[in-house]
Amino acid sequence: FNTISAYQAHGALPHYGASEESNAEVKAEGLFLVDSGGQYFYGTTDITRTIPMGNNTEEESVDYTLVLKGMIDGCKARFPKGTCGYQIDAITRKPLWEHAINYGHGTGHGVGYLLNVHEGPQVFNPTASPIAVELGMITSVEPGIYRPGKHGIRIENLVNTIQDVSNEFNEFYAFECLTIAPISTKIVKKELLEASQINWLNDYNAMVFDRLSPLLTEAEAAFLKEETKAI
């Protein structure tokens, strides 16, 4: 699919497509959103990161942190067998709802294996679909905040549904993150994060550095180390 490369106000359009007419100069300020992916013989990818470019406002920092909270809560969810996508959707939206903020697209969609980047039967959206989240399903988790004329923020990982705990209450599932890419912490409002969210973020970025740094040059690894340092 075509890369969504959106700077500042263009980021508020969830499916923005850059063109010669709409191109904007990227400056050392604001937010730059990139949603990209592709098909490979070993799988299909879909990932979004929002990159702080500098001189960010308080509103941008708070919005970024709320989206990050929702994305983390979705990715670290533990849920009983039989849970449906709309329940995962609500878990992910809750940190935004607490601030009377919402987004107009689904939280997640199924992803094919060398097939469609949007593939059912599962979806994480508010519609009360009867499709349960099953083991081995690969789904995106991608909450966002979009302020028309200002900025758009979305952070997206792909997750695989795995077995977690089995006890007298039920079988419980969890998500394994498949996406290995740093999540920027430059404008995170740490005071808005819960301890479990901070731990998840630090563990995730540490994993990213451990997995990617051996493949990089010394200069690239130094850059990644800075991008993934604990908060």
| pLDDT, tens only, 43-89 | 899 999 999 999 999 999 999 999 999 999 999 999 999 999 999 99
Output the pLDDT for position 21.
80
Render the chain in DSSP notation, one character per residue. Answer: ---EEEEGGGGGSTT----TTT-----SSEEEEEEE--EETTEE--EEEEEEEES--HHHHHHHHHHHHHHHHHHT-EEETT-BHHHHHHHHHHHHHTTT---SS-SEEB--SSS-SS--S-EESSS---PBP-TT-EEEE--EEEETTTEEEE-BEEEEEEEEEEETTEEEEEEEE--------TT--GGGS-HHHHHHHHHHHHHHHHHHGGGS-HHHHHHHHHHT---
Q: What mean pLDDT is reported for the chain?
A: 95
Higher per-residue confidence, 171 vs 129: 171
79-99 pLDDT, tens digit each: 999 999 999 999 999 999 999
CATH number for the segment(s) 4-227: 3.90.230.10
In this predicted structure, the answer to whether residue 129 has a pLDDT above a threshold of 90 is no
Supply the pLDDT for residue 114.
Answer: 84
Whether the pLDDT of residue 131 is over 80: the answer is yes
Residue that is written with structure tokens 């009360």 in the block: 128
Q: What is the number of residues in the chain? A: 231
CA distance 148 to 164: 40
Separation CA 158–CA 151 (nearest Å): 23
Q: What is the percent of the chain where pLDDT is above 90? A: 85
Name the residue ranges covered by the structural domains of the chain: 4-227
Question: What pLDDT, on the 0 to 100 scale, is given for residue 147?
Answer: 98
Sign of the alpha-carbon dihedral angle for 204, 70, 87, 125: negative
- Model pTM? 0.96
Q: Is the pLDDT of residue 15 over 80?
A: no
